[in-house]
Amino acid sequence: MIQGTGIRSHELFERAKQVTPGGVHSPVRAFRAVGGEPFFVESARGPRLRDVDGREYVDYVGSWGPAILGHAHPEIVEAVRKAAERGMSYGTPHEGEVVLASKICRAIPSVEKVRFCSSGTEATMSCVRLARGATQRKKIIKFAGCYHGHSDALLVAAGSGPLTLGRPDSAGVTPGAVQDTLILPFHDREAVRACLEKYGEDLAAILLEPIPANVGLILPEDGYLQFLREETKKCGALLIFDEVMTGFRLGLGGVQERVGIRPDLTAFGKVIGGGMPVGAFGGRKEIMDHLAPDGPVYQAGTLSGHPLAMAAGIVQLEVLERGGVYERLEATGQRVEKLVRDQLEESGQNYPWARVGSMFCLFFRESGERVRNLADAQACDRKAYATFFHALLQEGVYFPPSQFESCFLSAAHGEREMEITQRALRSALHRKA
């Protein structure tokens, strides 16, 4: 089946499969959850993707989060070009690192010091190591459906790609690697209390996406994050917010600013790199100073603080700091929300919808009930999502190729994109699965 795929994309995918497992370099890109074959992108500009077959799509994936200003933002492109002329990478300190680190520390009160790496995976993995090193405890709590990248200890009951492929746990991860990872259902306070009762004294950290967005999109109920903050404090464990997706996407201060909580450590990625490969993690000085070379917790990276990535990230954050962008994203988010709700009403469907700022998800859950955790998300009708996805794609609108992902808006999405989206939604939601 080459549903919807053009000839050039199909040819490239055939070649890709010869030289790369599944033809892709990150599993969700393979369209397994929705069927058919991925299109190959030729270029991206603003809110649009163009594929090698000459078709254009309104992009609601945004490189899975980084493209908050849209693709190929002229100021970012110019900054990267200039940086490249000064050398691709040095492996020594340079000013860009100081500038971007200072911006992050200024925007996020809980972060006094920050260390750069090259991916969100590294950022969360390093947070866990640091938490264990700083507390001299072993156990960590993670929540089912939260995705924290693909490091061994965190690749259990993971959302996003593993969940999309129906294998939230990975082969090749040994029981030893995850024996200190405790998995709990999201939103279940009793489970947390019981777990702390048993393991509290050896608990290094509770790690979570404060707004889980790799299992569709789950909005935390009032008081739940505060509850986790209090419980960790009581038992002497650290609270780690994985804001790889939400950091600088839901405002300069991330989820922590929205809910008024100071986690002990925070992981970043995606938006802070302006589309370049970047991760970062930070927190209070006395915790961060456990890192080498000051402290005994080792962490390193040949390309960490990469000059091109720093240049792109600095400009992206500068544009965000100028103001107006988050207001625009909220307004566009409300527009899309209304488009979806209107179409649902017209077609007599009551699928639950979740949105926060520029992130949203439509769950194909027949009962219409809110999705609160992994089990709820898994109860969704994935075939209906696949039909919806392909119908949108045909109309030139690209949603994530999986029910278990959030959609992303950019500041470049405008009137024309809303019109195309409205037409596509009408067609996709009125076509019953």
Ligand X SMILES: *Cc1c(COP(=O)(O)O)cnc(C)c1O
CA distance 15 to 10: 9
CA distance 102 to 46: 28
Minimal distance in Å, beta carbon 371 to ligand X? 17
CA distance 71 to 68: 8
Query: Residue 374, by phi and psi: left (phi above 0), alpha (psi -120 to 50) or beta?
Result: alpha
242 is catalytic: yes
Does residue 282 belong to the site contacting ligand X (CB under 6 A)? no
Number of residues that bind ligand X (CB under 6 A): 14
51 is catalytic: no
Of 103, 113, 139, 270, which one is the catalytic site residue? 270
| Tokens of residue 143, six digits | 């929540």
Tell me, rounded to whole angstroms, the distance of Cα 16 from its chain centroid. 25
Does residue 149 belong to the site contacting ligand X (CB under 6 A)? yes
Minimal distance in Å, beta carbon 377 to ligand X? 15
Secondary structure letter of residue 282 according to DSSP: E
Q: Which residue is nearest to ligand X (CB)?
A: 120
Residue in 325, 354, 321 with CA at minimum distance from that of residue 337: 354
147 is catalytic: yes
Interface positions, 108-137, toward ligand X (CB under 6 A):
119-121, 124
CA quadruple 306, 130, 285, 240: dihedral positive or negative?
A: positive
Residue in 223, 138, 156 with CA at minimum distance from that of residue 189: 223
Residue in 132, 174, 129 with CA at minimum distance from that of residue 155: 174
Which amino acid, one-letter code, is at 130? Answer: L
| Tokens of residue 381, six digits | 């009708």
120 vs 333 by CB, closer to ligand X: 120
31 vs 64 by CB, closer to ligand X: 64
CA distance 271 to 183: 28
250 vs 420 by CB, closer to ligand X: 250
- The span of 147-155, 348-356, 412-420, 425-433 binding ligand X (CB under 6 A) equals 147-155
Does residue 266 belong to the site contacting ligand X (CB under 6 A)? no
Does residue 147 belong to the site contacting ligand X (CB under 6 A)? yes
Of 242, 351, 385, 398, which one is the catalytic site residue? 242
203 vs 240 by CB, closer to ligand X: 240
Of 57, 60, 147, 351, which one is the catalytic site residue? 147
Tell me, rounded to whole angstroms, the distance of Cα 192 from its chain centroid. 24
CA distance 324 to 326: 6
Residue 302 · residue 91 · CB < 8 Å? yes
Minimal distance in Å, beta carbon 9 to ligand X? 23
- The span of 176-184, 215-223, 237-245, 364-372 binding ligand X (CB under 6 A) equals 237-245
Minimal distance in Å, beta carbon 346 to ligand X? 33
Interface positions, 24-53, toward ligand X (CB under 6 A):
none
Q: Which of 71, 113, 148, 365 binds ligand X (CB under 6 A)?
A: 148
Does residue 242 belong to the site contacting ligand X (CB under 6 A)? yes
> Which residues bind to ligand X, rule: CB under 6 A?
119-121, 124, 147-149, 209, 214, 242, 244-245, 269, 279
| Residues carrying an active site annotation | 147, 242, 270
